[in-house]
């Protein structure tokens, strides 16, 4: 049985990846940092009683800032594959916590690689590093591909730049099977609530159900290449099943402005919008309601821009070229953006219907 270790197992990608690897027959170990509450909602359906026989999914307390603990977990679990997904992953928040972000996202990757060397596992254990399209930052070339120069635009992206290159360096210096997946934005109903897509789909559901008045967003012009997380964890696995280690862009090749995502999400519930104004003055009103279940007053303002959500330096345009992953990994995304939006909105409507208690609408992000 193959053994995998996933850091960040209770995050969006960790949850989908754990599910995928369990389906493939792996023994899966997950690293989860301690929190004051049990924040395992995304993986609760995968729980296995540690006292029962043939347990194939186990959690370990660990933190990317603590190398002693990472060394111990790797020694205990002797993984064939490590998927390093743990990170302070919010770009805007990284401007507020730059040193911590560098430590967890940058040096944290070094700690994993160095642990493998210390334990003499560098020839046994393959490493997947969760690299990001944020590395491209300020546009140098479109679409962005493996050879496009990096120009990171946030403390998060700079930390991930270190992680990217230390992964390449350990591959070249020590012959490790260490790979970067340069993944463009991927979303799902499990997406954290303060990333823009989930913030939008939650707000659309809450507004349609009369639980929220208005949605406040930052830069509506930013364009992202959005895919579904379920497709993207499949690519992570494929990257580690190749004969030789390499780095791959994983993307859909289609880019969409934040404003259009908002329009599509409201449209999913039959609510049509009219956008007016530009920049910080931009707003959107309800112009028609096609679905009898979700009737809002025509002319109701449902969107406004709040500059608090602007970033000190922004990444305006991301569009990936997935040619290499399509040809070498045989990877293709199964979901398109319309299906992704539809699934996210539907899930959020269901969630609010089940639990309509007050939500923290304006968390940082
Ligand atoms: P999430 O934010 O959903 O999950 C991040 C995970 O990392 C959580 O389990 C979190 O734990 C954990 N974590 C954070 N800090 C630490 C730490 N110091 N020690 C241990 N665990 C920690 O991210 P995603 O699942 O969306 O992304 C997975 C990875 O892929 C991240 O590295 C991200 O930067 C990267 N990435 C994501 C993309 C995307 O579009 N989703 C695109 C490209 C790259 P907790 O729940 O306690 O916070
Ligand atoms: P991103 O994702 O920064 O691309 O990083 P996010 O969803 O946070 O932002 C996407 C774009 O939307 C704009 N935006 C807003 N963003 C948030 N969060 N909240 C808002 O109110 C808002 N209004 C507009 C942003 O300015 C940005 O341009 C994600 C993370 O998952 C990273 O970990 C990952 O590496 C990259 O995707 C690829």
Query: Does one domain contain both 97 and 152?
Result: yes
Q: How far is CA 33 from CA 58, 86, 113, 361, in A?
A: 14, 9, 19, 25
Residue 356 pLDDT: 57
| Ligand 2 pocket residue status of 185, Cβ below 6 Å | yes
Q: Take atom 21 of ligand 2 and give the residue whose Cα is closest.
A: 217
pLDDT at 362: 45
Q: What is the pLDDT of residues 236-285, one digit of tens each?
A: 999 999 999 999 999 999 999 999 999 999 999 999 999 999 999 999 99
Q: Name residues whose C-beta falls within 8 Å of residue 276's C-beta, 6 or more positions apart in sequence.
A: 282, 283, 284, 285
Q: Do 211 and 345 lie in a common domain?
A: yes
Same domain? 120 vs 22: yes
The whole-number pLDDT of residue 353 equals 93
Q: By the 8 A CB rule, do 258 and 221 touch?
A: yes
- The response to whether residue 21 sits with its C-beta less than 6 Å from ligand 2 reads no
pLDDT at 361 over 60: no
Domain assignment present for residue 298? The answer is yes
Closest ligand by atom to 90 CA: 2
**Do residues 125 and 171 share a domain?**
yes
Is residue 216 located within the same domain as residue 108?
no
Separation of alpha carbons 212 and 103, rounded Å: 37
- Tokens standing for residue 5: 């270790």
* pLDDT tens-digit series, residues 306-331: 999 999 999 999 999 999 999 999 99
CA 106 / ligand 2 centre spacing (Å) = 19
pLDDT digits (tens, 9 = 90+) for 96-122: 999 999 999 999 999 999 999 999 999
- Closest residue CA from atom 2 of ligand 2: 195
Q: List Cβ neighbours of 314 (8 Å cut-off, separation of 6 or more).
A: 153, 219, 222
In DSSP terms, which residues pair with 187 in a beta bridge?
228
Decide whether any atom of ligand 2 lies within 6 Å of the 91 Cβ: yes
- pLDDT tens, position by position, 196-230: 999 999 999 999 999 999 999 999 999 999 999 99
Residue 245: the pLDDT is: 98
Asked if the structure places residue 343 within a domain, the reply is yes
CB 317 near ligand 1, within 6 Å: no
CA of 290 to the centre of ligand 2 (A): 30
For residue 326, is it within any domain?
Answer: no
CA of 285 to the centre of ligand 1 (A): 35
In a domain, 165, yes or no: yes
Helix/strand/coil for 71? helix
Domain match, 160 and 266 both: no
Same domain, 105 and 24: yes
Q: Determine the Cα angle at 348 with ends 220 and 105, to 5°.
A: 60
Catalytic machinery residues: 132, 134, 156
CA distances from 201 to 73, 86, 313, 348 (A): 37, 25, 25, 7
Q: What are the tens digits of pLDDT across the range 20-53?
A: 999 999 999 999 999 999 999 999 999 999 899 9
Domain that holds residue 130: 3-187+227-253
Same domain, 244 and 309: no
Task: Say if residue 8 is in the same domain as residue 154.
Answer: yes
Statement to judge: residues 89 and 37 lie in one domain: yes
Same domain (yes/no): 11, 57? yes
Tell me how far the alpha carbon of residue 274 lies from the centroid of ligand 2, in angstroms.
23
Strand-strand pairing, 256-257 and 223-224:
antiparallel
pLDDT tens digit sequence for 156-201: 999 999 999 999 999 999 999 999 999 999 999 999 999 999 999 9
Nearest CA to ligand 2 atom 17: 196
Number of independent structural domains in the chain: 2
Q: At which residue do the structure tokens 């990444």 appear?
A: 315
Which whole number is the average pLDDT over 134-140? 98
33 and 110 in a common domain: yes
pLDDT bucket at 363, cuts 50 / 70 / 90: very low
Cβ atoms of 84 and 112 within 8 Å: the answer is: yes
Which atom of ligand 2 approaches the CA of 87 most closely?
33
Helix (H, G, I), strand (E, B) or coil at 32: strand
- In a domain, residue 267? The reply is yes
């Amino acid at each position: 049985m193959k053994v995998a270790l996933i850091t960040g197992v209770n995050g969006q990608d960790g949850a989908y990846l754990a599910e995928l690897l369990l389906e493939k027959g792996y023994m899966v170990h997950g690293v989860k940092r301690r929190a004051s509450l049990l924040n395992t909602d995304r993986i609760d359906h995968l729980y296995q009683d540690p006292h029962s026989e043939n347990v194939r999914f186990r959690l370990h307390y660990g933190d990317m800032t603590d190398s002693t603990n990472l060394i111990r977990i790797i020694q205990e679990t002797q993984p064939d594959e490590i998927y390093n997904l743990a990170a302070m992953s919010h770009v805007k928040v990284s401007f507020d916590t730059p040193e911590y972000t560098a430590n967890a996202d940058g040096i944290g990757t070094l700690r994993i690689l160095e642990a493998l060397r210390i334990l003499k596992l560098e020839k046994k254990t393959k490493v997947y590093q969760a690299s990001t399209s944020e590395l491209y930052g300020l546009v140098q070339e479109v679409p962005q591909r493996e050879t496009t120069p990096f120009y990171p635009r946030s403390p998060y992206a700079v930390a991930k730049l270190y992680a990217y290159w230390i992964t390449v360096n350990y591959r070249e210096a020590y012959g490790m099977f260490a790979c970067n997946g340069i993944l463009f934005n991927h979303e799902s109903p499990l997406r954290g609530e303060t990333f823009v897509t989930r913030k939008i789909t939650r707000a659309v559901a809450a507004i349609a159900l009369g639980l929220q008045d208005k949605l406040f967003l930052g830069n509506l012009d930013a364009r992202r290449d959005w895919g579904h997380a379920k497709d993207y964890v499949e690519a992570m696995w494929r990257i580690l099943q190749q004969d030789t280690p390499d780095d791959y862009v994983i993307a859909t090749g289609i880019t969409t402005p934040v404003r259009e995502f908002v329009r599509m999400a409201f449209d999913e519930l039959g609510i049509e919008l009219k956008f007016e104004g530009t920049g910080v003055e931009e707003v959107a009103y309800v112009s028609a309601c096609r679905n009898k279940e979700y009737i809002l007053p025509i002319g109701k303002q449902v969107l406004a821009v709040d500059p608090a959500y602007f970033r000190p330096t922004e990444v305006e345009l991301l569009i990936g070229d997935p040619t290499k992953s399509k040809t070498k990994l045989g990877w293709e995304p199964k979901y398109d953006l319309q299906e992704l939006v539809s699934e996210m909105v539907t899930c959020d409507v269901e969630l609010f219907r089940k639990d309509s208690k007050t939500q923290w609408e304006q968390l940082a992000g």
